[in-house]
Structure 1
Amino acid sequence: MSSGSKHEPITSTKFGTFGGVFTPCTLTILGVIMFLRFGQVVGQSGIFTAIMIVLAAKVITTLTTLSLSAIASNTRVKGGGAYYLISRSLGVEFGGAIGVLFFAAQAISVAMYIIGFTEALAATFPSLADNAMGISTLVNLITFVCVYIGAGWTIKVQYFILAILAAALGSFYAGAIADFNPEYLQANMRPSFLEGESTFTMFALFFPAVTGIMAGANMSGDLANPSKSIPTGTLAAVLITGLIYVSQALLLGCARPAAELIGNNMVIRDIAVWPILITAGVFAATLSSALGSMMGAPRILQAFARDEIFTSLKFFGSGSGLSNEPRRATVLTFVIAQVCIVFGDLNAIAPIITMFFMITYGLLNLATFYEAVTKNPSYRPTFKYSHWITSLLGMIGCFGVMFLINGLWATMSLLFIGAIYWFIRSKEVEARWGDLQSGVIFERARKALLKLEDEVYHPKNWRPIVMALSGSGWTRPHIPIYGHWLTSGHGILSLAHVVTGDLEELSERRDRYEKQLRGFIKREELDAFPAVACAQYVSDGIESLIQCHGLGGLRPNTVLLGWPRDHSRADSFGATVRLIARTKRSILAARFLAHRDEDDETDKATATDIADHWTVPSGTIDVWWRGMENGELMLLLAHLLHRNPEWRENHVRVLRVVQNEQAKDEIVNHMKELAASSRIHFEPEVVVSDHPVAQVIQSTSREASLVLMGFQTPEEGHEVAMYESLELLAGDLPRIILVNSAGGMTLES
């Protein structure tokens, strides 16, 4: 299945926040319910309860918008809106189900809005009532032509509709203020429910009015900066439309008695100073919603078809022109809408459309919840106002509203999406994009681990699975402690020890060392596993551990070991490094001066000594940048270390040395771009100096809490030279981790 990269559009026009997100969201939210049904909600519920209904509905859509904003700012958003975001998080099964369901909802919505327009037109001009089918068909055709020409033309039409809508609201506000009546205000504070009606039924009547928050996200492929425009534009639309609905609830209750609010669907027109503007507003609201759905549905289908989940839909993945317009998908959307116009009924199709939207919003919240709660290192959204709790509440709210509106339709809709999910899963469709499946499976037990074996690996799901050659733990406590900090909440740590000697006599010693490691892990409350191997030589034991330790997708990808104390151990260290590199594992060598004068492993550190190692040193976390080869891993490790609560005050610096001032600005800009693309906050610093690099590094990082530097695997015979060159760079810096990356991760995932 294609990831869609070869279909990247060469777009001549990209839309901004206002035109591409705010306008379509606002026009969809301020729709036909505002003009034709909101008076009834206020009349039956009373002003106070009506405002509570608006606020409750807005809370749910705001929570969903926060999830949408977080997930949209965590990935490069392409075409497909909610389908793209959900599929890239929850996987191909949920993504495929949402692709079918959300496209169908958007396509059928076109018919619903056009039927609503025709009914409003017939109410205004009764003589046209007998030609309702022909009028609906004509409006559907006009809407289709506008969208077929291109999104740019449609956006311009929406600007005109937005102006009409603003004029209609102005006319209503002027009339309502002029008709203010304190007696109506006092009387309408209390509910006046008709028989069989309640706060819940009024909430169900109103809620579809606020389900327009995806209108902007559906244009994701046509936005210049979707990760910025989607959060800003959608939240602005939610806020402004919320203020409009709250103020309308208050003014309606102050301008007319409850009986008139309940019995007159066109009460807003009667209140307005210029009624013709309200009529125009009703037409504009329904037409704009039809245009928004006619724009959004083809883009969902186009993105869905390009992923080739169903090969029969591949035909609809093609785009036309420089702007990559989904014209084939637009034709299909027109046909579906026309079929619904001919055979559909507004009251019959409205509930199922609402259910489809709510499932989409609920799964979007679920996707963001999983992204956050599984602590995937690739989940680094630039939008910071979403939390797994808000996502969970949004998901509960969406599914709760479904059953509140109509329990039967809610059940049928969930069964429908479940059937699609099962069908796609039974086909064993292979996705070639990174999703949260591996991240979720990582947190589960044996059955989930077996499933993890079948998942396609993607750099997005890289986690530090560290094997620390820590001896017994007591002898070099800085290694397991730093291994714990680098993996805590994100990966897996194993404390490894090699027992050397005659294999026939090592069984008892092996058991003793493993017990000792378990005791150390328990006492220090480490999230780690012991790993002890017996071998005649240390190198053989390390090779055995690297190849055999772990299970399935939980095999170590990184080895953490100590740096040699002196030249005499440089040869054996270089051989060990080459051995680890051949197994395609990353290498972290901890050079801590405090341990230079330690004796052999038989000496144990005291409990007080180990407690000292848990004390986080003050200063920055310095990453000395020399390129992406080792730099990606160094920066990601610095980010993971900084995420530990104890290290939050230790800010990350990325440093580089240049010899002339002219190169400084270019490198600083490059580092800022790196920070933006990686979504990792760090302080870029370029040091201009013609002094030896070693002198610059030691003077600049003298007060650092930890220094990260890259190194290359030495060739045979060059071990001592490598050791001496790195010792020269390190000098008397107290804490350094030298990094040799084997790849497997990318900062932009």
Structure 2
Amino acid sequence: MGATTRKIQPGQRKMGNNLGAFGGVFTPSILTILGVILFMRSGFVIGQAGIFQTILILCLSHIITLLTAISVSAVSTNTPVSAGGAYFLISRSIGPELGGAIGLALFCSQAISVPFYILGFTEALVRTFPSLAVHFRTIALITTAFLFIITRAGARWAVRAQYLIMTVLGLSILAFMGGALVHFDINLFSKNLGPGYTNDTYAFWSVFVIYFPAVTGIMAGISMSGDLKNPARAIPAGTLGAVFTGFIVYGVQIILCGGAQSREELIYSSFETLCRQALFNAGFLVVAGVFAATLSSALGSFMGAPRVIQAVAKDRLIPMLHLFKKGTGQANEPVRALWLTLSLTITTILWAGNGDTGRAFNILAGVVTMFFLYTYAMINVAAFVESFAGNPSFRPGFKHYHWLQALIAAAGCAATAFLIHPVTAVCAAGIISTMVVLLRRRSLQVRFGDARWGFFYSRLKANLHQLAMMPMHPKNWRPAILVFTGNPKTRFTLVQYALWIGEERGIVTLVRILPGNIQDLMEKRQTALTQLKKNLHDYGVSGFSTVMVLPDLDQGICAALQAHPPGPLKPNTVFFGWSSDPDRAQSFTRHLRIVQAMEMNLVIINDKGLPQNPDKGVIDIWWRGKKNGSLMVMLAHLLTQNRQWADATIRLFRIIQDHAGVQPAKQALETLLRAARVKAESRVIVSTDSFEKVLQSISTDASVVFMGFNVPEQNEAAEFQARHTRIFAPLPTMIMVSSIGDCDLFA
């Protein structure tokens, strides 16, 4: 009888550890939540902050965690989840740069959690057996080796060990909770209700940072995403189950211990009091429980941290991490990343293992808290971006979610980080931001189909509608340039000037028209489009490009002018290269008249090459009236806003025929420049010679020259072309401008 094949459902995987919600997510999460804080620091927080403020800390912590768990549930049920846990969810939603930075932060926080919990275990051990205090560091290192061996055996063995640990932990919690209930005193409860901070070092937010690692355990379960049989089902069920269970246990502990221990006992000997008050004198169960809790938390982090860094390495975001992408066995266990985690753990223990271990413990708690807060914030941002973007692909199986909840949670995480310690929060944000910048500078080729596209699309759509409803004012004029490039290899100067003028403050689109039949030219069209995009990439600029195939050039130009987006993104300026070919005079003029009929500004560039040192260059503008003059001055000003032209000199010329008019003309130009708020030199030329002769005698030393023109009638095409070709002959690159009057220099 043949073997029965079972269809693999979305979110399931054929190979790996195939863990379920209970073993793969709930168990590592709850064992990390009910960890060292429950036994070794919760009493201290209750004693310092009082019952009421501790409950407030618990609620605030769990609200952040619950909202984050809901965001995790939404994102994880919307896409097939692979290894990497929170890193995977973030990187696939808001991109590899921020995902990579948060992945490293998450790895560091989980890797530091390992020695954090091991130190908690060792502290509990030496407080139970004081004679072992001299061997503190040795015990911590032996414990590290023991946990490493279990983790090295694989996730299945680690989860089996956690089942045993969870049984011991459950008995321990029953023992000390029952004992606290027996010793509960309402008068003691009343005395402990308010805060009792022992010195200026401790306040609400300083004890919050000590307590918060208690709720970070959900990362241990989420980080096991690569070992789950069905992540889409296991992550929401296991994570939310762990959050609610942890909240109940900690809430009951605060109330019972607050009424069973004095203020002094809570602050200085809460753990010893838990042992002494245990039911049936079973203090050994409490000791076993704290051992189990701290070891299980360390084990959960030991399993989670390597899987995060392995996932980052697999995505090839950071070259130096490529070593850690390789796994072993069918389950792809991250052995190399495990050794890295071991190294960090040993280093931290060697640093914190001697001296004031309590202070070191609190420092580690602060580091873990800060990085987890930022990780939580980014998870919520990821969920917000996925939902708010309105992508049709966002259809999470988890329905109890709204983008507003994710936004509130993200803001809450950031605000909490700054309330805890502003300087540390800024430093952590700076570290993450630096990593984002470094990753972005690498021009990452990695793309995950993340949700940023949909988010930007939805914002663009909304903004376009808003812009379309707003009346256009000359003060808001920006260049929206359409450049008819032809073959960009032969039109380098044309493209470069368009980008210099329009890239920073406007929009530049390169258009190439291929005359012919689209069915015959599809391959050529794709090649031309690739070439245009490569040109933009090589220039290192943000522009757009398109290639159109139409029967002839006239139809292509008409189609390009009409097909571009209406409303606020409609092109307002068209760039052509000058044609000196007499055979093309009629067609060239026809193209100019088409643009004029479409009510767009015309810019024609006569290519004489680019200046060698534009930053020391001279830009000449020949003023002959406000209509074209305003646009010429504006374009020249935009040219100098580019870094290459930043120190160039603008010279504004006006020709008059009578010396008596020099002073009024000079004052008029200076008044014009002051009103226009443009830095330029004004010069008045007195001459009775032709404009052509004056222009050629003065501007031959310029880097580029602006002059206005009027579009000729069709029957004047040949004369127009011949005259301007003659004018251009001895001059540098010329930029001819014909304005429709939409650009007002004085707005």
> Same-fold call, TM > 0.5?
yes
The one-letter code of the counterpart of 2:58 is V
Among 121, 134, 140, the residue aligned to 2:138? 134
Q: Deviations over 1:107-143 (max 9, x none)?
A: 2221221122112211112222222222221111111
Rounded to whole Å, the distance in 2 between the matches of 1:397 and 1:169 is 31
C-alpha distance in 1, partners of 2:150/2:562?
62
CA distance in 2, matches of 1:12, 1:306: 16
SS of 2:430's equivalent? helix
Matched length: 459
| Correspondent of 2:305 among 287, 297, 305 | 297
Work out the CA distance in 2 between the residues paired with 1:357 and 1:546: 52
2:278 to 253, 272, 278: 272
Query: Is the aligned partner of 1:440 residue 2:455?
Result: yes
Equivalent AA in structure 2 for residue 276 of structure 1: F
Aligned residue number for residue 36 of structure 1: 40
Deviations 1:316-335 (A, max 9, x none): 11121111111121112111
Give per-residue Cα distances to partners, 1:467-525, cap 9 Å, x unaligned. Answer: xxxxxxxxxxxxxxxxxxxxxxxxxxxxxxxxxxxxxxxxxxxxxxxxxxxxxxxxxxx
- 5 Å matches for 1:551-570? none
Aligned match of 2:121 in 117, 122, 126?
Answer: 117
Aligned counterparts of 1:361 and 1:394: Cα–Cα separation in 2: 8
The answer to whether the 8 Å contact 2:261/2:270 transfers is no
Deviation, 1:27, is: 0.7
Q: Which runs of 5+ in 2 are unaligned?
A: 1-11, 353-359, 465-549, 571-747
Partner of 1:359: 374
Deviations 1:167-217 (A, max 9, x none): 110101221121122222333333333332433333333222111111111
Aligned-pair distance for 1:346? Answer: 3.0
Give the Cα separation in 1 of the matches to 2:417 and 2:224: 26
- Give the C-alpha shift of residue 149 in structure 1: 0.8
| CA distance in 2 between partners of 1:25 and 1:440 (Å) | 32
Describe how 1:352-501 pairs up with structure 2 within 5 A: 352-444=367-459
Work out the percentage of aligned pairs sharing the same amino acid.
Answer: 43
* AA matched with 1:227: A
CA distance in 1, matches of 2:297, 2:119: 12
Give the aligned partner of residue 673 of structure 2.
Answer: none
Q: 1:136-285 alignment to 2 at 5 Å?
A: 136-196=140-200, 197-266=202-271, 267-273=273-279, 274-285=282-293
Change in CA separation of 1:378 and 1:9 when aligned onto 2, cut-off 3 Å: closer
> Out of 320, 336, 349, which is 2:344 matched to?
336
Decide whether the 8 Å contact of 2:181 with 2:256 is kept in 1: yes
1:59 pairs with one of 57, 63, 70: 63
Q: Which residue does the alignment assign to 1:286?
A: 294
Whether the 8 Å contact between 1:298 and 1:333 is mirrored in structure 2 is yes
Partner of 1:616: none
Cα deviation code 1:644-664 (max 9, x no counterpart) = xxxxxxxxxxxxxxxxxxxxx
Aligned match for 1:101, one of 91, 105, 117: 105
Per-residue Cα deviation, 1:267-320 (whole angstroms, up to 9, x for no partner): 322322211111111111111111111100111111111111112322211121
Instruction: Check conservation: 2:387, 2:403, Cα contact below 8 A.
Output: yes
The separation in 2 between residues aligned to 1:292 and 1:25, in whole angstroms, is 8
Measure, in 2, the Cα distance between the counterparts of 1:312 and 1:268: 47
1:94 Cα deviation after fit: 0.3
In structure 1, C-alpha distance between the alignment counterparts of 2:332 and 2:562, rounded to whole Å: 48
When residues 137 and 115 of structure 1 are mapped into structure 2, their CA distance, relative to the original with a 3 A threshold, is same
Matches of 1:352 and 1:536 in 2, distance apart?
Answer: 66
C-alpha contact 2:81 2:225 (8 A) present in aligned 1:
yes
CA distance in 2, matches of 1:362, 1:55: 17
Change (3 A) 1:95 1:250: same
1:337-389 residue CA offsets vs partner (Å, 9 max, x unmatched) = 11222224433333222211111111111111111112121111111111111
CA contact (8 A) 2:16 2:227 kept: no
Residue 536 of structure 1 deviates from its aligned partner by: 13
AA matched with 1:43: G
- CA shift, 1:444, in A, is 4.5
Q: Given the superposition, is the C-alpha separation of residues 99 and 547 from structure 1 closer, same or farther in structure 2, using an over 3 Å criterion?
A: farther
Separation (CA, whole Å) in 2 of partners of 1:548 and 1:386: 40
User: Max radius of gyration: which structure?
Assistant: 2
Deviation at 1:104, TM superposition (A): 1.8
Q: How far apart, in 2, do the equivalents of 1:300 and 1:247 lie?
A: 33
- Matched position secondary structure for 2:401: coil
Distance in structure 1 (CA, Å) of the matches to 2:364 and 2:199? 25
2:274 alignment partner AA: I
Amino acid at match of 2:255: L
Answer whether contact 2:13 2:230 (CA < 8 A) is retained: no
The aligned runs of 1:328-727 (5 Å cut-off) are: 328-344=336-352, 345-444=360-459, 544=559, 548-550=563-565
**Structure 2: which amino acid aligns with 1:310?**
I
Q: CA RMSD in A?
A: 2.8
Deviations 1:681-720 (A, max 9, x none): xxxxxxxxxxxxxxxxxxxxxxxxxxxxxxxxxxxxxxxx
> What is the rounded CA distance, in whole Å, between the counterparts of 2:140 and 2:14 in structure 1?
35
Deviates more, 1:53-62 or 1:194-203: 194-203
Give 1:307's aligned residue: 315
Is 1:9–1:323's contact at 8 Å kept on the other side of the alignment?
Answer: no
Structure 1 segments unaligned to the other structure (5+ residues):
1-7, 450-534, 556-749
- The one-letter amino acid paired with 1:294 is F
- Give me the whole-angstrom Cα distance separating, in 2, the residues matched to 1:548 and 1:162: 66
Query: Do 2:97 and 2:439's aligned partners in 1 also have CA atoms closer than 8 Å?
Result: yes
Name the residue aligned to 1:486: none
Q: Quick check: 2:110–2:301 contact (8 Å CA) kept in 1?
A: yes
Matched residues in 1 for 2:560 and 2:165: separation?
68
Aligned to 2:335: 327
The alpha-carbon distance between structure 1 residues 313 and 178, as it changes in their structure 2 partners (threshold 3 A), is same
- State how far apart, in whole Å, the 2-side matches of 1:349 and 1:181 are: 35
Q: CA deviation at 1:545?
A: 7.8
Amino acid at match of 2:100: G
| Paired position in structure 1 for 2:589 | none
**Structure 1 counterpart of 2:306, one-letter code:** P
* Equivalent position amino acid for 1:336 in 2: L
From the superposition, tell whether residues 255 and 265 of structure 1 become closer, same or farther in structure 2 (CA, over 3 Å). Answer: closer
The 3 A distance-change label for structure 1 pair 190 and 301 is closer
CA deviation after TM superposition for structure 1 residue 26, in Å: 0.5
